[in-house]
Amino acid sequence: MKTAHFLNSIFKSENFNQEELELILMQFEEVEFRKNEYLIEKGKVASYYYFLETGFLRSYSIDTEGNDVTTKFFAEKDIVIDWHSYFLKKPCKESIQALTNGKCWKISFANFMKLFNIEAFREVGRTRLINNYFELKHHSISVIADQAKDRYLNLLKEKPSIIQNVPLKHIATYLGITDTSLSRIRKEITL
């Protein structure tokens, strides 16, 4: 069964007994999305979080000058979530939009809480939250302290699928540079 296979790859069945794994799988619902569709919208409370099976998404916000700025990309096996909104029931400050067609698995907060008594489930969640925090912190410092070319090369090394599947205008705002600067950097690298 494809559902079990994908979610098993996320939860690594060796961490759970069969009963726990079945309970976990039952809480998730398959969702297909289309390019440009929103999974989470600014101003609304996030009711679900998602495990991305296929496709690419981005989170973004609008800056004080009205510019669309990408804050994060999501690819296969990523958790797609607005942590603050989902857990604290606060309105989202950014939107999460599909860059391609794709598929993910969603879980409501109520169903998530049903699983919280499973120690291994809590550990998987804690590890993902910590990794997400460190990725965000690393990116924030990189935008301040690293050269644009180094930020691009790092993204190319760590997430090549993003470079291959995401519009360059979104990559540029994520890196904190203009489209023109990104084009120049890409040209330098290919020479």
pTM: 0.87
Indicate whether 67 belongs to any domain: yes
Structural domains of the chain, count: 1
How many whole angstroms separate alpha carbon 109 and alpha carbon 138? Answer: 28
Contacts of 169 (CB under 8 A, 6+ apart): 179
How many whole angstroms separate alpha carbon 99 and alpha carbon 34? Answer: 8
pLDDT at position 1 is 45
Indicate whether 144 belongs to any domain: no
Indicate whether 7 belongs to any domain: yes
Band (pLDDT 50/70/90 cuts) for residue 123 is confident
Contacts of 188 (CB under 8 A, 6+ apart): 149
Indicate whether 163 belongs to any domain: no
Q: Could you report the per-residue pLDDT of 60-98, keeping only the tens digit for each?
A: 999 999 999 999 999 998 999 998 999 999 999 999 999
**Of 103, 133, 137, nearest to 28 (Cα)?**
103
pLDDT at position 120 is 85
Q: Which two tokens stand for residue 91?
A: 């309105």
Read off the amino acid at residue 151: R
Indicate whether 177 belongs to any domain: no
Q: What one-character-per-residue DSSP string does 80-110 give?
A: E--HHHHHH-PBPSSEEEESS-EEEEEEEHH
Cβ proximity of 72 and 114 under 8 Å: no
Indicate whether 18 belongs to any domain: yes
Whichever domain contains 56, its CATH number is 2.60.120.10
Q: Give the chain's mean pLDDT.
A: 90
Indicate whether 185 belongs to any domain: no
Q: Could you report the per-residue pLDDT of 20-67, keeping only the tens digit for each?
A: 888 988 999 999 999 999 999 999 999 999 999 999 999 999 999 999
Indicate whether 186 belongs to any domain: no
Residue 55 belongs to domain spanning: 2-118
How many whole angstroms separate alpha carbon 87 and alpha carbon 85? Answer: 6
